[in-house]
Amino acid sequence: MAHQVSLMIVGAGVRGQLYADLAARDPRVRIVAVADRDEGRRTALAERHDVPPARRYSDWRDLAEQPRIADAAVIATLDRLHHEPALALAEQGYHLLLEKPMAVTPDLCHAIVAAARATHVTLAVCHVLRYTPYTQVLRRLLDSGVIGQIVSVQHLEPVGWWHQAHSFVRGNWRRTDESTFMLMAKSVHDIDWLNHLVGRPARRVSSFGGLHHFRTEQRPTGAGERCIDCAIEPDCPYSATRIYLGCLGNAAAERWPLQVVTSARTEQGVLDALRTGPYGRCVYRCDNDVVDHQVVNLEYEGGATASFTMTAFTDFAFRQTKIFGTHGCLEGNGREVEVLNFRTGKRERHLIEISQHDPHAGGDTGLVHAFIEALVSGRPEDHLTSPEESLTSHLVTWAAEEARLTSTVVHLS
């Protein structure tokens, strides 16, 4: 089959590699260019996808300076490095698959949506939860009317104890000033997902939360600077030695989270990275400031409400949700949905088939597929969340954070 969509990858890190690999499974797609500052990542992705040396760039800016060389760009740089390539590449006529957060201020998010509309390019924001088979089942059930009108929602995002330590205490998303606040970094997906399921605009929001545990005051007596030379490491749930040595030999865990820590795949290599790198630091002696727990209460137009909890202190598991309607209620955990029908008093279970290879329960695959279909068909509205909807989810997330920081109820227009 002839290639119909050419893609370039901006940022060949964890997400950029994943999207490239998923897209390349589709025979209609070719990866034609890659930009990354890191030579190893750039070369690895380029070689895997036969990108010629002349199309390997150390900075997306080199790409933006020349005439368009692909139909679309995947922007998978870190959070603060999204808006510049998004604006420049939209200007060049590239369709965009843009990682969340779209940008780190509301003005920049507005500017990206305006640029995409002005240049008539397709803009998809990577709210992968929307594209899971699970969400499709939920959507179908809600649309069928089986639970009537939604009145209340209870939604839990279990971040997972070691994931919090990895990404939000030791890692890339530990500081608001270097990336963004926790709710935006982690839970803009959830706010977006709730907006999608409730299907009405959010009108009021309140929020509480903070950084409870990963701070100096909580440091146990005897804790060292680094896990590798800490006397109490064997008893610490957040031991980097245990977390990362435990990844060795497990292909999925070697890809993530271990790849972020080191490219080594030996015990000695991992220990070396923990001896010197950021991921070997004691969780009570890091420079993190993002919250480890937060609740958000939302009221939607018409009066339905949702309560959302994000917390570090859980298993690393899929989100858990209860939706309460006028004619029934349902409960879902990513793998199955159980519906109680008030008319019959009967319960019905729906099992979801999910790929073991997709870290977001099929959402990454679903998103990439939808993006390609949108480009091939020229009808993004049939396949993708609109840029304006994604923007709204970001704005609600900012409102929730404002509510937390100011101890107020924030009204959304």
Ligand X SMILES: NC(=O)c1ccc[n+]([C@@H]2O[C@H](COP(=O)([O-])OP(=O)(O)OC[C@H]3O[C@@H](n4cnc5c(N)ncnc54)[C@H](O)[C@@H]3O)[C@@H](O)[C@H]2O)c1
Sites of contact with ligand X (CB under 6 A): 10-16, 35-38, 41, 59-60, 76-79, 81, 99-100, 126, 128, 185, 360
- Beta carbon of residue 8, minimum distance to ligand X (angstroms, whole number): 10
The CB-of-302 to ligand X minimum distance in angstroms stands at: 30
Shortest distance, position 140 Cβ to ligand X, whole Å: 23
Angle CA(105)–CA(107)–CA(112) in degrees, nearest 5?
100
Residue with smaller CB distance to ligand X, 14 or 137:
14
Tell me how far, at minimum, the Cβ of 127 lies from ligand X, in Å: 7
Q: 36 or 233: whose CB is closer to ligand X?
A: 36
| Complex with ligand X: residue 206 or 365, whichever CB lies closer | 365
Backbone dihedral region for residue 317 (phi beyond 0: left; psi -120 to 50: alpha; all else: beta): beta
What is d(CA 100, CA 204) in angstroms, rounded to the nearest whole number?
23
Q: Which is nearer to ligand X, 100 or 170 (CB)?
A: 100
Q: Which is nearer to ligand X, 60 or 94 (CB)?
A: 60
Tell me how far CA of residue 266 lies from CA of 43, 63, 241, 244, in angstroms: 22, 36, 13, 11
Say if CB 288 and CB 232 are below 8 A apart: no
Min dist CB 291 to ligand X, Å, is 16
Helices (H), 203-335: 240-245, 251-253, 259-261, 267-276
Closer residue to ligand X, CB minimum distance, 132 or 321:
132
Between the alpha carbon of residue 351 and those of residues 5, 69, 142, 156, the distances in Å are: 34, 43, 16, 20
Q: Which is nearer to ligand X, 30 or 56 (CB)?
A: 56
Residues 126 and 217 sit within 8 Å (Cβ to Cβ): no
Q: How many CB atoms lie within 10 A of CB 283?
A: 24
Nearer Cβ to ligand X (13/209):
13
Q: Which two tokens stand for residue 13?
A: 């890190």
Identify which of residues 35 and 410 has a Cβ nearer to ligand X in the complex: 35
**Beta strands 347-351 and 336-341: pairing type?**
antiparallel
What are the structure tokens assigned to 326, written together?
Answer: 């006028």
- Residue 10: strand, helix, or coil: strand
- Chain position whose Cβ is nearest to ligand X: 13
**Residue 93 and residue 68 in contact, taking contact as beta carbons nearer than 8 Å:** yes
In the complex, the smallest distance separating the C-beta of residue 62 from ligand X, rounded to whole angstroms, is 9
Number of CB atoms found within 10 A of residue 201's CB: 13
Spatial distance between the Cα atoms of 258 and 246, rounded to a whole number of angstroms: 9
d(CA 292, CA 205) in angstroms, rounded, equals: 20
**Cα angle 364-365-371, degrees, rounded to a multiple of 5:** 90
Q: Minimum CB separation from ligand X for residue 175, in Å?
A: 13
The strand pairing partners of 23, in sequence order, are none
Q: How far is the CB of 152 from ligand X (least distance, A)?
A: 26
Q: Which residues pair with 413 in a beta bridge?
A: none
Nearest approach in angstroms of CB 330 to ligand X is 24
Strand 293-300, strand 202-210: pairing: antiparallel
